[in-house]
Amino acid sequence: MLSLGFFLEKMLAVYFDCPGGPENLYVKEVMKPHPGEGEVLVKVSASALNRADLLQRRGTYPPPKGASEILGLEAAGIVAGFGPGCEGRWKIGDAVMALLSGGGQAEYVTVPEGYLMPIPNDMTFIQAAAIPEAWLTAFQLLHFVELGMPDPNSETLATDCVFTRKNMEGG
């Protein structure tokens, strides 16, 4: 006999009905997500709040098409289940962090398997939740992006610096 209990379970999530400030946020009971093809169900232990979440709450940054309406672009927690087609890299109980298109400010979130990252043993869930969006963006900028730094002996460097500073000072 097939049990539908898993699909009817509920959870709590942070919601808002109209754009605005934090006074519009409230906790709402919603359907617990179930993982689809290649997705992992994560029981959320911590979720970070970043600029994109604030803009979404204000109504100026809509979630991507098909993404959860629940706020939260990064989360950390424990692997709680698998959808069909998962490759077996993770097991139930693994501590993971993830970059999301939404849904992190809830008790559970589904994540494409390839978006999960292991949490180091010496890191808390709160620390890990802040890594996927903000920290990794800064890290990638510093280490992977070709910044095209000019030759320090170039006259262009001095001109660019003066021009930029004058513009910043309103000159």
Evaluate whether 72 touches 104 at the Cβ level (below 8 Å): yes
Q: For residue 34, what are the CA distances in angstroms to 81, 122, 152, 165?
A: 8, 30, 55, 52
DSSP per-residue codes, 26-45: EEEEEEPP---TTEEEEEEE
Please report which confidence band the pLDDT of residue 149 belongs to, taking 50, 70 and 90 as the band edges: low
Q: Which residues pair with 75 in a beta bridge?
A: 47, 98
**Most confident range, picked from 110-114, 158-162, 163-167:** 110-114
The confidence score (pLDDT) of residue 50 equals 85
Q: Residue 47 phi/psi, 5° resolution?
A: -140, 140
The secondary structure element, H or E, covering residue 157 is helix 155-168
Q: What is the average per-residue pLDDT within 109-123?
A: 96
Percent of the chain clearing pLDDT 70 (strictly above): 80
Overall CATH class of domain 5-145: alpha beta
Q: What is the average per-residue pLDDT within 140-157?
A: 63
Q: What is the average per-residue pLDDT within 68-77?
A: 94
Residue 152 has pLDDT above 80, yes or no: no
The confidence score (pLDDT) of residue 170 equals 44
**Most confident range, picked from 4-18, 47-61, 97-111:** 97-111
17-26, 132-141, 162-171: range with lowest mean pLDDT: 162-171
- Residue ranges per structural domain of the chain: 5-145
The SS3 assignment for 80 reads strand
Instruction: Identify the sign of the CA torsion 116, 122, 124, 129.
Output: negative
14-28, 103-117, 148-162: range with lowest mean pLDDT: 148-162
The confidence score (pLDDT) of residue 147 equals 60
The C-alpha atoms of residue 101 and residue 111 are separated, in whole angstroms, by 9
Mean of per-residue pLDDT scores for the chain? 84
Q: What is the average per-residue pLDDT within 111-140?
A: 92
Residue 19 has pLDDT above 80, yes or no: yes
